[in-house]
Amino acid sequence: MELNFAPPAEVSELAHLVSDFIRTKVVPYEKDARWTSHGPTDELRVELNELARQAGVFAPHAPKEYGGRAIGQVARAFVFEAAGYSMLGPAAIHCAAPDEGNIHLLAHVARPDQREHFLKPLAEGRQRSCFLMTEPGGGAGSDPGMLQTTARLDGNEWVINGRKWLITGADGAGFAIIMAKNEGGAHDGHATLFLADLPDPAIRIERALDTIDSSFTGGHAEIEIKDLRLPSDAVLGEVGKGFRYAQVRLAPARLSHCMRWLGSAVRAQEIATGYARSRKAFGKTLGEHEGVSFMLADNHMDIHQARLSILHTAWLLDKGERASTESSMSKVVCSEAIARVADRSMQILGGLGMTRDTVVERIFRDTRAFRIYDGPSEVHRWALGARIVSGKL
């Protein structure tokens, strides 16, 4: 049997187009003051989106009816890695979290009227979105069974109450997908997803969280939902199937994180390599010292292994498999490998690495967060270990 690792020509061409766009158009924006500690502003995002449209690389993952190319997971692996070369790249081509994952979920689950109202403006970049699942105190984070936000049917309306936190992109979002636990009725205790237009006075951002990462427009927020009333048809999918739909979103979305951050690891390695070739110490370049060249070699191997893990999981998803185990493994493998690459690159740069004269310092901070969101490594290892011990794997 022949194994073919070469992507189709159209995928290679698109990835090359994205790579060229990121390096020539997006990288110059990395010193822009509109890239704040809470992510790029909407003004900056819109400006970059327009450049992406002009370059023909905007939202290639979006459905074709909304101007996208509907590329599959393997194609995304190449394209999103190219976009991730700059941490502004995913926002520029509109494949950043949480919008990319929400586009995927809506494309698979939303009714035609919901597609028109929510998916179309999101896919076209006219709105941003947020996904309200995680709760303070550990609720509905790594253990979604701890969900505390409730949804009660009152006549023809749903009444939703709860608190959410670490909600990415909430500030400035045009709508929210809300996960809540049914209270009463036939689906009591089961989770349901709801769609809500924003802003809404019943969904209040209590505070913007100061976090280690800074790549997501709208940053991260803590939110109170108080007596939010939604029409009975605001349900996304079917009542009581929220956890199932969340997996439709989370398995490919966590893989997309791997793709994008791999591009940042490639960038860090490139910067470290250039420095090792030019900086001299003790009579020769840094790269001629084995202590440095070995770190570059380890970086190269980590990047290679992460890429193979991503491609295998993407291939399974394109075949129609759930690939939840493989996605979970890729999340651990890639987040830890990418963090090692960023750490070694900073070490090679020495004092320069501690400054913002290069983007490595920012990559180092953002990739550290990747080992926590979308499930910390320990939870993925625990779930994988449980499957092995129970004979389910």
pLDDT, tens digit (0-9, with 9 covering 90-100), for 197-247: 999 999 999 999 999 999 999 999 999 999 999 999 999 999 999 999 998
- Phi and psi based region of residue 36 (left: phi greater than 0; alpha: psi -120 to 50; beta: remaining): beta
Band (pLDDT 50/70/90 cuts) for residue 250 is confident
> Looking at residue 120, what is its pLDDT?
98
User: Looking only at Cα atoms, what is the longest distance across the chain?
Assistant: 80
Other residues' Cβ atoms within 10 Å of the Cβ of residue 218: 24
Query: φ and ψ at 254, to 5 degrees?
Result: -70, -30
Residue 63 pLDDT > 90: yes
Domain 129-236 falls under CATH 2.40.110.10: yes
Band (pLDDT 50/70/90 cuts) for residue 131 is very high
> Looking at residue 146, what is its pLDDT?
86
Other residues' Cβ atoms within 10 Å of the Cβ of residue 290: 9
Tell me the mean pLDDT in the region 89-95.
98
Residue type, 392: K
Residue 3 pLDDT > 90: no
Tell me what the pLDDT averaged over the chain comes to: 96
Is residue 160 a contact partner of residue 178, using CB atoms and an 8 Å limit? yes
Instruction: Please tell me the pTM assigned to this model.
Output: 0.96
Is residue 105 a contact partner of residue 177, using CB atoms and an 8 Å limit? yes
Tell me the mean pLDDT in the region 143-169.
94
Question: Tens of pLDDT along 254-263?
Answer: 999 999 999 9
Q: Where are the domains of the chain?
A: 9-96, 129-236, 243-389
243-389 fold: Butyryl-CoA Dehydrogenase, subunit A; domain 3 (1.20.140)
- Answer whether the bond into residue 201 is a cis peptide, omega within 30°: no
Question: Tens of pLDDT along 282-328?
Answer: 999 999 999 999 999 999 999 999 999 999 999 999 999 999 999 99
Question: Tens of pLDDT along 29-47?
Answer: 999 999 999 999 999 999 9
Contacts 24+ apart (CB under 8 A), 315-318: 315/73, 315/74, 317/72, 317/73, 317/251, 317/252, 317/255, 318/72, 318/73, 318/74
Rounded Cα–Cα distance for residues 84 and 267 (Å): 9
Domain 9-96 falls under CATH 1.10.540.10: yes
Q: Which of 201, 243, 198 is nearest to 225 (CA)?
A: 201
Rounded Cα–Cα distance for residues 122 and 155 (Å): 30
Percent of the chain with pLDDT over 70: 98
Residue 144 pLDDT > 90: no
> Looking at residue 139, what is its pLDDT?
61
Band (pLDDT 50/70/90 cuts) for residue 142 is low
